Structure 1
Amino acid sequence: MTKFNFDPYKALKALVEVTASHVGNDFLEVICFELKKLFEADLVFISNALDCNPITKVSVLYSTDEHTDKIFDLKDTPCELVYKDEIIIINENVKLDFEKETSNDFESYFGIPLHNGSDTCI
């Protein structure tokens, strides 16, 4: 029997990257709400880098919370780690370990970096 080396995080990332640019904002809305249900998350959003080398600021392309800031600095947020091109899974203490999250009730965080056609983290 052939054994597959399957990583669900990489599969999800690949699906989002391949389809997002082809289907636009409707896709972003649907994928955010589906991920929110799947992970039983309080908040899901997709962001895009506004600068590079290093990436310090992002714009939120879509969020499941209409009150999410549309543009924010990455410093002292778990998103800062994602923009170092790593899949980030934090199971606890987000509001304790990240200065900008102290006013939030988030306990955990899951972030996947997305790439453009040139394989640059966006």
Structure 2
Amino acid sequence: MLQPWSESTWVSSLDDGRGEPSEALETLERALQVRAAKGSAAPNVVVDLAGISHLGTVQLDRLRLMRRRLARSGGRLRLAAPTEALWAVILGHGADEEFLWSEDVVGALVEMS
């Protein structure tokens, strides 16, 4: 679920209740594409990982690409609230060094302001 927190900051929860990334990642990508097509400034995006137990290589690659696109356009991507199981996956993929992290969404929003 994508929620605009402010004009310049969005929060996207990937949890669909099953512990797997839902269509929320695709929804977020489309919303960013629409905003870019309108010529609007890139937002800062917090991706809420609470409840997610696994991210596959494809999802991590999509997040990496999203982070790069946002950075080129002046936005930032911060991942928040990873579960212990997900953190193990992230470490296994070496993705811990690639992203900005926060323990929870509130902390991420504070860091983005």
Same fold flag (TM > 0.5): no
> TM-score by structure 2 length?
0.32
> TM-score by structure 1 length?
0.31
Higher helix share: 2
**Higher relative contact order by CA 8 Å / sep ≥ 6: 1 or 2?**
2
